[in-house]
Amino acid sequence: MTEVAWRQRHLLDVNELTPPELDLVMRTADEMKEILGRPIPKVPTLRGTQVTILFYEASTRTRVSFEVAAKNLSADVVNIAASSSSVTKGESLVDTIRTIEALGADMLVMRHSRSGAPYLAADVFSGHVLNGGDGWHAHPTQALLDLYTLRARLPGHRVAGRKIVILGDILHSRVARSNIWTLTAAGADVWLCGPATLVRGFDAWAAAMPAERRLTVTTDLATALRGAHAVMALRLQQERMASGLLPSLREYAARYGLTADTLRLARADALVLHPGPMNEGVEIAPDIADFERSVVTEQVANGVAVRMALLYLLAGSGPIEEGGTRG
């Protein structure tokens, strides 16, 4: 495993990862999955490392996933939720990051509503920054766990050449942006589908892509789903209604909701993904959320393994089973 050099100090976005690095994340996650299957799913790898989880937006799954990943590697975890922190007292982000470092943090997992905030943090913080989602910009660990899940479940473990549809509110989605990068890098034929107001501007992105990357934008659900190997439905933020971008949830569900009916257009073995939390009955029908080819809970489980892999690789420690030096 050590034949590929890992050169990243931070994980800010997926587009910084070289193809061999992407591959290394996947293979390290395989090792972590093996550890997760043990009676005691813990290794001493990051003993003495302090991982601070600083979330400026509410989250359960991502926050807990990082917490469990860090604890499985024997790191010490400090949780800071912005609403209860001095952030609300008007302190600048730079001062907050310096304070967290002075309190002993070696690694910083950060979610922020402003795109780019983790880049600012990385400029200041002398340890390792992991972006847990920033504004509409990026959600790199989500894209990596999605890639891991697709590799595990697509026929022949192949992503290249597969038609993968990202469905819904592309415009406001950091999950979509990071997935577009990793999936086109992996050679997938990526389709974006949603109402015109919510795919706005992505045509230009598609046109500007390098020739070897395949990205298509459509507002027609049938066109998108036809022959798809996998469909990733995005969460529809209820706030979009207020801003006039969508007429009503009901109309959205009728035109773009993933249902047993609409999914018939895809391949018979098409997978369904969702980053969660799901609005069942809106972007995804309850019977689809539950059905056998939905890999939603696998995504969550793989998320722990992928985050363990990333914490391990970024910390640059020794062998997984030994550990005990700070990153």
Binding footprint of its own copies on the chain (CB under 8 A): 36, 38-42, 47-48, 50, 58-61, 64-65, 67-68, 71-72, 76, 78, 80-81, 83-92, 95-96, 98-104, 235, 238, 276-280, 286, 289, 296-301, 303-304, 324-326
Instruction: Closer to its own copies by CB, 32 or 122: give it.
Output: 32
Among positive and negative, which fits the CA dihedral 56, 62, 68, 70? negative
At position 241, the amino acid (one-letter code) is M
Residues 226 and 216 sit within 8 Å (Cβ to Cβ): no
Least distance (Å) between residue 238 CB and its own copies: 7
Which residues are within 8 A (CB) of 260 and not within 5 positions of it... i.e. 6 or more apart?
285, 287, 288, 291
Least distance (Å) between residue 222 CB and its own copies: 27
For residue 153, with 0-12 CB atoms within 10 Å meaning exposed, 13-18 middle and 19 or more buried, which class applies? middle
Least distance (Å) between residue 45 CB and its own copies: 12
Instruction: Closer to its own copies by CB, 81 or 245: give it.
Output: 81
- Quickly count: other Cβ atoms within 10 Å of residue 287's Cβ: 12
Q: Which tokens is 252 given?
A: 């959205």
Least distance (Å) between residue 216 CB and its own copies: 30
Least distance (Å) between residue 139 CB and its own copies: 14
Instruction: Closer to its own copies by CB, 212 or 239: give it.
Output: 239
Q: How far apart are CA 279 and CA 226, in angstroms?
A: 24
Least distance (Å) between residue 224 CB and its own copies: 24
Residues 54 and 84 sit within 8 Å (Cβ to Cβ): no
Instruction: Closer to its own copies by CB, 223 or 238: give it.
Output: 238
Q: Which tokens is 255 given?
A: 């035109």
Least distance (Å) between residue 259 CB and its own copies: 17
Which residues are within 8 A (CB) of 44 and not within 5 positions of it... i.e. 6 or more apart?
74, 321, 322, 323, 324
β-sheet with 271-273: strand ranges across: 214-218, 189-193, 163-167, 230-233, 271-273
| Pairing state between β 128-134 and 107-112 | parallel
